[in-house]
Homo-oligomer: A and B are copies of this chain.
Amino acid sequence: MTSKIKKIGVLTSGGDAPGMNAAIRSVVRTCAYHKIECVGIYRGYQGMIEGDFKEMGPRSVNNIINKGGTILKSARSSEFRTDEGQQKAYDNLVAGGIDALVVIGGDGSFSGAQFFSNSFNFPVMGIPGTIDNDIFGTSHTLGFDTALNTVIDCIDKIRDTASSHNRLFLVEVMGRDAGHIALNAGIGAGAEEILIPEEDLGLKRLLESLEKSKASGKSSSIVVIAEGDKIGKTVFELKDYIEENLPEYDTRVSVLGHMQRGGSPSCYDRVLASRLGVKAVESLLEGKSNFMVGMINDKVALTPLIQAIKGHTQIDRELLRVSDIMST
Contact B158 A262 (CB under 8 A): yes
Tell me if A204 counts as interface (CB < 8 A to partner B): no
Supposing A149-B149, A164-B69 touch, asked if A156 and B258 sit within 8 A by C-beta, the answer is no
Stretch at the interface among A47-55, A119-127, A320-328: A320-328
Supposing A216-B59, A275-B318 touch, asked if A149 and B16 sit within 8 A by C-beta, the answer is no
Tell me if A297 counts as interface (CB < 8 A to partner B): yes
| Smallest CB gap from A257: residue in B | B254
| Smallest CB gap from A259: residue in B | B157
Contact B69 A160 (CB under 8 A): yes
Contact B326 A145 (CB under 8 A): no
Contact A319 B259 (CB under 8 A): no
Copies per complex of this chain: 4
Contact A149 B68 (CB under 8 A): no
By a CB distance below 8 angstroms, the chain B residues around A74 are: 164-165
Q: Which of A285-328 touch B at CB < 8 Å?
A: 297-300, 318-319, 321-322, 325-326, 328
Contact A69 B161 (CB under 8 A): yes
Contact A267 B184 (CB under 8 A): yes
Contact B325 A33 (CB under 8 A): yes
Question: What secondary structure prevails in chain A residues at the interface with B?
Answer: helix
Contact A159 B270 (CB under 8 A): no
Tell me if A239 counts as interface (CB < 8 A to partner B): no
| Smallest CB gap from A185: residue in B | B267
Tell me if A73 counts as interface (CB < 8 A to partner B): yes
Most buried by B among A258, A261, A297: A258
Tell me if A82 counts as interface (CB < 8 A to partner B): no
Tell me if A133 counts as interface (CB < 8 A to partner B): no
Tell me if A2 counts as interface (CB < 8 A to partner B): no
- Alpha-carbon distance A212/B63, docked complex (angstroms): 18
Min CB gap A218→B, angstroms: 7
- Which of the residues B65, B188, B274, B298 comes within 8 Å of A65, measured between beta carbons? B188
4 further interface pairs, Cβ-Cβ under 8 Å (given A33-B325, A156-B262, A187-B271): A33-B328, A75-B166, A160-B263, A190-B270
